[in-house]
Amino acid sequence: MTTITTKYLGPTNTRGSRIKVIHGHTGYFPSKSYSYDHGSNAPHIIAFKQYCADMAKLYPDSFFADKQEWVIGDTPCGIVAVLANDTHITTGKEE
């Protein structure tokens, strides 16, 4: 199952607030941090979309390059996005 999560990271002495975007297969696709837009209504969605665009440029043959459908839900510290047409998704029901 292909997942991407976001997490809010508060400001430090050297960096401002940011959102970290993490691909579920850590090590295969890099995680990246994006500046937190305090004026935005959906900063985690903006960071997620920017991450997908950045990964499409870096990996033109990956699923990021295609316009994919994602199922997105809230978490206590951000969002989680699951690739909707992932062939590895199971329903938990026995066939």
Q: Per-domain residue ranges for the chain?
A: 3-83
Residues 6+ positions from 43 with CB-CB distance below 8 Å: 19, 36, 37
Q: Tens of pLDDT along 9-36?
A: 999 999 999 999 998 876 678 889 999 9
Determine if residue 58 is left, alpha or beta; phi over 0 gives left, psi from -120 to 50 gives alpha, anything else beta.
alpha
Query: Is residue 56 pLDDT above 80, yes or no?
Result: yes
- Token output for 15: 């960096």
What's residue 89's pLDDT?
45
> Given CA atoms 57, 60, 65, 70 in this order, what sign does their dihedral have?
negative
